[in-house]
Structure formats: structure tokens, C-alpha cells
Structure 1
């Protein structure tokens, strides 16, 4: 396979990065349009976008509509075996280009490339299909049922036509999104993010080296356009061509996507979320225990240097102020540590956080801070959650009299809540769910998910397909 070749850069002499498109099995190069990356404004160029090449007309079935799930899983498993950074030239190239546009250091990006391997095994993929659909039958054909009145109908989880706005904060998102799209046999257009317009094409090129004419690959296109471009989105985001828009992104991006929702065109939104931790008074049983809890809380808060929905931004601690301050000091110390998906020194907090914290430090009673604005970590203790958005390893700690009091700070925008000690999850999980929380975990494991579970309060694959009934009643 050509993926065993050495890395060959795609940067031009001008310093601009060449970003190819991948259109239904075909790699497309060009320098027709120039854009800037999200974080650092690095220029990159792409081919001209030919919209009419991106979709299969509704008069024809998608290439993978009748491909058996078992064969698709075979293809994904074989692909995963070639997604090894050390052997895959496309991933090596993607890594080097990502380093030019990402605030994350090489070590973390390398670890991120390795992460999807645990989700793309045969056992994991088959387990997900069994868990979500009860097996491949509903995806592979029409399943007959007879209701209590003796009426017969047949149901199929029919393959959809999807546009994906991919997340830009983790290269692994491209790998998992491609796998999800393949499992439901969809016709897909992946809008690559400006923070990583490389990994999606790298994975699809790897698949093409295995079987260029595979129906899954013929169902997939990966292209870039600037988000919000009405000349593109006004065409693609229409029910004549696609069923659903699967959107990952910030508030502005999701709000823009929602403009296109209408009859026959749905939005499946993975919109911005905020996560938190709740720590019981058991943390103060000993100095050793408190240090262990501070490390677990720091691990949850620093995922991708806090640039992830699962990264905790608020920590509610059951105890008096003196005890909570002891925790804050240890937490601040542990924020400045290297981890598999966090760096000891990350990007510095933005100006709005510095201004807000400076005002709290000197003007407001009941507030106290630890750390500084140097990217190693900042802890702000306050009587209630601060009104700014903690980011860049900034953690807001709130003392509470009981865990149930902390539930008042959870909302429908709260995704993951880490709990210590673990046995007290049952004490608050129903109340957290009532508040709108979507996931409850043990402290320190926010980034460790079980396979086949809901995400953002839904089973995404279940939402992707079109549920169609053939009814004899």
C-alpha cells in the first residue's frame, strides 16, 4: 500500500498549505480558493468546489444502500489496521499540517490520532450495531412485525443522505464520523473544519488504497468551504439533495445551520456544552485523598487544554470555605501537569477572562484566585458560578453545603458531570437528569466513554437513518 511511504509535504513555497478535496473516491487538487485557519490564521488553498459532483440524485440509490453491514464492518476494520501513524504517510502529512494550524502540541495530536483504534475494532463496531439497532437486520432490509391487532408491517432503518459539519478540536472526530456514516450506509458530504482540513481526506485516501471502488468510499466526499457561505450552504442544505445536517460546532455555527431547517431537512446538532464536577466532603478524609481528588479533577478539566465539551469548567465542592481553599490550591498545582491529552503549559487565557478575574480579585468579597494567566492553570473560587466562560485551563470552584445544592447549577447545556466519590452518583443522577444533564461519570473519567452509549442525550446512529414503514394495515 502507498500509505507506507514516507511523509511528503504539501506546503507551497509561498507558505500556503495545499488542501485537497476527496469526491466520491477521487482525490482532487487545486489552488483556486484561499482561506485562513481558525486559530492562527494560517493560509491554505483548496480546489474549486463543484457542488453538483457531491451528491447522488434522489432518483438513484446511494452506492452503499444495499451493501451488507457485515461487509462494511470488514472494510472499516481493514481500514483501522492501516490507520497507524508510524506507517501511514497520509496521517503523517496530516499531523505535520495540523501542527501548523493547531494550538495543541505534537505529543497530544499524536495521541489523538491513536485514540480511534479502540472504537474501530470488529467487536466494538458489532457491539454498537447490536446495542442501537438490535443487530444488522433493520439496516440490511425490511423487518416484518405483527401488531396486537394482527396487522402486518415491515420497517427498515433506511440509509440517509447527510451533510456533516465536522468538529475541529480533535483529529479523531474525522475518523469516528467516517465510521458512523459508513455503518448507516449514508451518502455523505463532510465539511472539513478550518482547524483541521487534513485528517478527513487522509482517512479517505487510506480507504482508497484498500478498495477505491468500495461502495462506502463512493458514498463519501470531503471538501472545505468557509462556514456561513450562503452560496454553498443555500444549495447543499436542501431537502432535494440531503435529508439531515449533522452539525458539530460553536454557537454561531449551530445558529447558522438552524436557518436551513425546514420540511424534509433536519438538523442533528452537537452544539456547545459545558461540563462540571461535583466533589463530596469525603475528599477531605486525608491529605492523600485530597491530593488524589485534585488530580482527578484536574484531569477532567484539562482535556485538550479545556477545548472540549467534556472538559470540566466548574467544580462544586461540598465543604466549608477553608477546606475548599485547600482543594483549590492543590487543584491549581495539578492543572500545570502534562497528560496524554493536555500540556503543562497551554494557551494563555483570553483578555475577557483576565479582565473579569482582575475585577473579581480586587473588587468582590467572597472571591479568591490561585495561579496566573501564564497557561499553567488558574482557579477562581466564588460563592456561585462566575458569569464568564472558563477556558484555557481556567477552573471555577464553588463551595456547596451538599451535593444536591450543586444540581442547581446544572442546565440543559451541561453535558458531563464527574462525581466523587463514585457511590454518590446515585444520590444526584436523577436530579441532574431532570436539570438537563446528559452524562454522569466518576470523577477523572470524563474522557473515558463506554462504547454504544448515547451522546448528547441521543443515539446518533438512530437519528441518522430514515425510519421507513411498509404497512399492510
Structure 2
């Protein structure tokens, strides 16, 4: 990113792994919550033509171990706080997007961890596709040999609320050997660009580097609709408008995987103790300032409330030092304060933490407004039984975080029946475990085509006692003996 005349921060695009700076007439300009002005090159018709000419199978035949080794090399760069690309990224997140230094450094650390997680990537493929070898070779599965092949061109419409989401989407596409087009959000134009350019820092000509395209388009641009329609798969993160755009413009044969919009909540039984619960809840409230789908926005408490609130205040203060909140615009700060005044009117007891880093609204579940104000505002509801919160549970709830863990075992069947996607222990809401689902799906499955080579007629198959020749069976009248 360059700071140019007029104090406009110019964010480059990336085409086939190479940095591209837009001309004045080809850029979209924005003002961030810090008041910083920045511009992003918009996807042009000639850029789309260039992307569509790229080989969709460019990394299809690259052994997975080579892909993971390359990502590992890039990750080692990100692990160093002296890596120039990382330092630039942290500065961008702070000065332009208003992240605290601590939160920006933590996000850079998470990118490093993701890229260095080659063992976990093998496990992810194993868990979601059935075998860690399936991207490279045919794998025996019952009476068939099965292989996963990349879809081809995947368009990712990225979110702006959780920077790591864009990095995860990119890595999923890479390990399934696809060509990627990543459309950044105006709320975070930096993460995908920094990732793609860090690949070029390691090896400009590496096939993975050249399989990366990072760009932007305004919602009303025809070129955006065209690139989505040309994709073999679309991964879309965000609100209802983004999801509708993807579904409306994707090709009928394309796979469309949607993440969001969702919200999450917590369940705490204080009879089992309050220390771990308060610490985990404070973490899940402060991370990403409640902007993420998995952020805790309300908690239902069974058992004594006052000791829990006392410990929660302590932990919220402590986590505010670990992860100071991001900068707010005057409008957002006023919106939060107006929301808290409404909470008081509706019957909640409102408490605001030091330096307005957090707020608690304690009251009955009915007192919570329809729209959460975000910004580390936690609604606390004391209940006699967790069944009192069932009416608030439907498929819009992504994650329910519980403390102690026994609450998960007690409630999981009913919560699953009502539409919840994930059940986790408090403090772990942001850690999607290997083997788990993401918004009810295994994401890698939407990025591959599964092909099977089925066994010959000489292979009877499990449970069969005759050679598979249905014509002869029909002639002999023995079809019913196909399986004994």
C-alpha cells in the first residue's frame, strides 16, 4: 500500500500473482472509520478476460505436499514480526481500519499459524473428503476407486468483519488446487492482498502464486456479475445482499457455498464455578469486537448471578487490556449509546466499563432489542432453566458456547434439532476444530468434483454372492437372489 498525494492510501489488486495498480478512473474510493481515505482498483473487462484465459488446472497436478511446503515457507515469513509485509499489514489495519495494535498483531499471528498448519490441512482434507491422499490419487472406498479434482475457477466474495476468514477461504481453495478470484470487502481490503503478495515475496513464479487474483468491484458493475457467472464454484461470506448476489449470478452448474449471516450466544451454569466461564466469555465477547458470526452477544445464566457478574467485570477489564477495542466512528459510538439507553427503557440494568470498553445489559430475555448494537455490549439473562431460551434458537444461530462442558452434553440434542450449527466450550468460539462443520457444511466439498471408478463385474461386492450380470439373472429368474 502506498501513501500518495492527497493522503489517499492506494491498495493494489493482484492478477495472476502480480501486483496491479489502478488508474484514477478505474478505482473505488472509500473513507474508513478512522477517517483515512483509500482506493481499490476495480475489476475491468480486460482484467476479467485475462482471468478467464488463465489455466484453471494450473495447480491441479501439483502434488499436495509441494503446495503445503510452499504455504509453510510463506508462513515462516509471517511468523517474524520483522517481516516487512507483516509490518505493513499491521500498520494498515491500525491506521486505516482502526484496529488496536494488539488485535492487528494477533491477526497477523493467526495468518502465520494458518499457513504453517500443514498437518492440520492434511487432517482437514481427511475429515471433509475422506482421505488425505484423495487430492493426489485414486483412493479405495468400498467397491470404488474415488478421486477429488478441483472445480476449476472459484470466486470468493470475502467479508470485512473477520480478516482471517479471507485467509481461510484462500487456503481452502489452494489445498483443493483451484484457481482463485478473491473479491475483497471495503471493510478489509488488506488481508487477501497481503497474503497474495506474500506468496510472490517467496516465489513470484510459483504455480500457487500465479493462481491468485485479488480484486474489487462495485455491487452494480456488470463485470462482477460476469466473473461470478463464469466461476465453477462461488464461496460467499457476508449478509443477505451478498448471498442473494451470488445465488442470482452463479452459473446453474456451479457450486455455491454461503457463510452467514449468523449470530451466537452463550450458556453458563454458575453452580459449577464462575472463573473459567467468565474468562471464556470475556474472550468471546472482545475478539473482533462482536463483529464475527461466532461472537457472543448474549448469555443465559443458570444459577447465582452476582458472583458471576463480579468475575465477568474483572475478565472484561483484563481482556480489554489484552485486546483493546477498535476505533469507532462518532456515528457508531452514538448508535451504541442510544442502544444502551433503549435497553434501560426496556427494563435492563446497564453498566458501562472503564473507558467505554464494554457494557453489560442485565435483564429478562424479552428486554433485548431486535438489532444488537455490537461494540462489546453483552446481554445477560438469568434463567431458572435453559429451556427458557429455546424460543430464541433457530437456524440463524451459528455457535452456542457453554460452560461447563457438561452443558453441551445436556443440551446438544435439543439445540441441534432447533437448527444450531456448532456447540463449543466458552473461550473457543473462534477456533473451528478439524472435523467440525462450518455453518452446517463441510466447505471443501463445494470446492471439488468427486469422481469414482467403480469395480468390475468380477468383484461381487460386500453382501453379494453372485457375479454382477443382471441380464443372466433376469433370464434365469434369479434377480431376487442378487443379495442373500
Q: Which of the five TM-score ranges fits, normalised by the shorter chain? A: 0.7 to 0.9
1:423 Cα deviation after fit = 2.1
1:405 Cα deviation after fit = 3.0
The answer to whether residue 243 in structure 2 is matched with residue 254 in structure 1 is: yes
1:353 Cα deviation after fit = 4.5
Pairing partner for 1:135 from 131, 134, 142? 131
The answer to whether residue 101 in structure 2 is matched with residue 110 in structure 1 is: no
Report if aligned partners of 2:138, 2:145 keep a CA contact under 8 Å in 1. no
1:471 Cα deviation after fit = 6.0
Query: Compared with structure 1, are the counterparts of its residues 35 and 452 closer, same or farther at alpha carbon in structure 2 (3 Å cutoff)?
Result: farther
The aligned residue for residue 221 of structure 2 is 230
The aligned residue for residue 36 of structure 1 is 30
Pairing partner for 2:268 from 279, 282, 289? 279
Deviations 1:38-90 (A, max 9, x none): 54563323446322112346xx5421111111211111111111123523212
Report if aligned partners of 1:20, 1:46 keep a CA contact under 8 Å in 2. yes
* Secondary structure at the counterpart of residue 259 of structure 1: helix
In structure 1, what is the Cα distance between the partners aligned to 2:275 and 2:141? 57
The aligned residue for residue 434 of structure 2 is 451
1:354 Cα deviation after fit = 3.5
* Secondary structure at the counterpart of residue 83 of structure 1: helix
Q: CA RMSD for the aligned pairs?
A: 2.8
The answer to whether residue 383 in structure 2 is matched with residue 400 in structure 1 is: yes
The aligned residue for residue 5 of structure 1 is none
* Secondary structure at the counterpart of residue 17 of structure 1: strand
Pairing partner for 1:263 from 252, 260, 280? 252
Q: Which runs of 5+ in 2 are unaligned?
A: 457-484
Query: Compared with structure 1, are the counterparts of its residues 332 and 100 closer, same or farther at alpha carbon in structure 2 (3 Å cutoff)?
Result: same
Counting only pairs closer than 5 Å after superposition, residues 1-80 of structure 1 correspond to structure 2 as 10-32=2-24, 33-37=27-31, 39-40=33-34, 42-47=36-41, 49=43, 50-56=47-53, 61-80=56-75
Query: Compared with structure 1, are the counterparts of its residues 391 and 373 closer, same or farther at alpha carbon in structure 2 (3 Å cutoff)?
Result: farther
1:100 Cα deviation after fit = 2.5
* Secondary structure at the counterpart of residue 54 of structure 1: helix
The aligned residue for residue 324 of structure 1 is 305
The answer to whether residue 317 in structure 2 is matched with residue 336 in structure 1 is: yes
Report if aligned partners of 1:137, 1:143 keep a CA contact under 8 Å in 2. yes
The aligned residue for residue 430 of structure 1 is 413
Deviations 1:322-371 (A, max 9, x none): x4355345534543334587316864865455334323424x45x32222
In structure 1, what is the Cα distance between the partners aligned to 2:277 and 2:208? 45
The aligned residue for residue 356 of structure 2 is 375
How many corresponding residue pairs? 446
The answer to whether residue 121 in structure 2 is matched with residue 125 in structure 1 is: yes
The aligned residue for residue 6 of structure 1 is none
In structure 1, what is the Cα distance between the partners aligned to 2:335 and 2:163? 28
The aligned residue for residue 466 of structure 2 is none
Pairing partner for 1:466 from 443, 446, 449? 449
The answer to whether residue 274 in structure 2 is matched with residue 310 in structure 1 is: no
In structure 2, what is the Cα distance between the partners aligned to 1:346 and 1:21? 26
In structure 1, what is the Cα distance between the partners aligned to 2:187 and 2:326? 20
The aligned residue for residue 474 of structure 2 is none
Q: TM-score, normalised by structure 2?
A: 0.83
In structure 1, what is the Cα distance between the partners aligned to 2:142 and 2:279? 55
Q: Which runs of 5+ in 1 are unaligned?
A: 1-8, 284-288
Query: Compared with structure 1, are the counterparts of its residues 281 and 80 closer, same or farther at alpha carbon in structure 2 (3 Å cutoff)?
Result: closer
The answer to whether residue 215 in structure 2 is matched with residue 220 in structure 1 is: no
Deviations 1:249-303 (A, max 9, x none): 23333233332245113321111221111011415xxxxx435533332222111
Q: TM-score, normalised by structure 1?
A: 0.85
Report if aligned partners of 2:123, 2:132 keep a CA contact under 8 Å in 1. no
Query: Compared with structure 1, are the counterparts of its residues 384 and 373 closer, same or farther at alpha carbon in structure 2 (3 Å cutoff)?
Result: farther
The aligned residue for residue 396 of structure 2 is 413
Deviations 1:213-270 (A, max 9, x none): 22222221111223x13322221111xx211211112333323333224511332111
Report if aligned partners of 2:166, 2:192 keep a CA contact under 8 Å in 1. yes
The aligned residue for residue 3 of structure 1 is none
Report if aligned partners of 1:379, 1:397 keep a CA contact under 8 Å in 2. yes
* Secondary structure at the counterpart of residue 380 of structure 2: strand
1:141 Cα deviation after fit = 3.9
Query: Compared with structure 1, are the counterparts of its residues 345 and 116 closer, same or farther at alpha carbon in structure 2 (3 Å cutoff)?
Result: closer
Deviations 1:153-176 (A, max 9, x none): 654343432001122233333433
